[in-house]
Amino acid sequence: MVTVTLAATHHDADGRMLAQMARVLPLLNSVYCRVTVFQTPATVAESQALLRAHGATVAVGSPATPTGHLHLGIWRRQALALGLHHAAGASHIHFCDLDRVLHWAEFHMAELAATLAALPTADLTVLGRTPRAFASHPRVQRDTESLVNHVFQLSTGLPWDMMAASRGLSLAAAQHIVRESRDDTLGTDCSWPLLLWGQGSFTLSYREVEGLEFETLDRYDDEVAALGGAEAWLNRMDADPQQWAYRLHMAQVEVAAIVGGGI
C-alpha cells in the first residue's frame, strides 16, 4: 500500500481559506497517512487550531525569517523538513502549497488519489498542469510562466510545466534537497529538480493533472461576485501593470535558478 505524507506550505493572513479547510481537511486525511503544514506567523491563529483539530502536524515559522518570492526557498525547505520528520511509515512525500491541494481535493479528488498512488514510480515526480488547467490561470501568469518552462526545456530537453509548485518525492530525494539545496528563492521550482537530476542517482518523472488549475478564486467569492464573475476578476488582474512587473521578476528569478543548474 502506498503511503504518502503531505508537506505543505501555508499563508493566510486574512483567514480566507478557513471555510474551505473545514470542508476539505477530512478528505486530505483519507488519502495521506500524515498531513504536515509549515505556516507563516502572519497566518490567522484559527488556521493552526483548525488544522490540529483535524489531526495535522503544524509548525510556525520564525517572524525573523524573511518572506516573499526571494526567500520562498527557505520556507519550502523547512516545510519539507517538517514532512520528513513526521514521515515514519510513509514511502513518499507530496510537497504542495496548502491552497492548491485543498482545491485539488475538493474538485478533483479521484485524480489526487490516483496521482499519489503513482508517486512510487520515481524519486521525483514533477506535477504539472494539463493544457486546460494551465489555461485557467490569468494571462499574467501564463505568459511569464511559459517563458520559464521554455528556458527549462532549452536547458534540459524536458517539456515540463515547472511552476505549479507540486512535487512527489521519495524520502531519499527529500533528504537530499533539505541537506544540499542552497536556493533560498522561488527558483526552487526549477533548482530542486535540477539538483536531483545532476546527482545522477535519482529517477525523475512528470505527470500532468487537472487539479492544479487556478485555485485562487476559491478564496475570493465576494470579489468575484462584486465584479460580475471570474472572467472580470481575471481581467482586472491582467490589467494591472504591477502584477506584470511582479510576475516578470519572478520569472527572472526562476530563469536564474535554471542557469545556475540547481545550486
Question: What domains are there in the chain, each with its CATH number?
Answer: 4-259 (3.90.550.10)
Query: In whole angstroms, what is the distance from residue 152 CA to residue 257 CA?
Result: 10
pLDDT in tens, 42-88: 999 999 999 999 999 999 999 999 999 999 999 999 999 999 999 98
The torsion angles phi and psi of 58, rounded to 5 degrees, stand at -125, 135
Q: Structure pTM? A: 0.95
> Which residues in the chain land under pLDDT 50?
none
Cell numbers 504591477 correspond to 242
Q: Are 92 and 171 in contact (CB under 8 A)?
A: yes
pLDDT in tens, 32-41: 999 999 999 9
Residue 81: HSE in the Cβ half-sphere, 13 Å Cα cutoff: 13
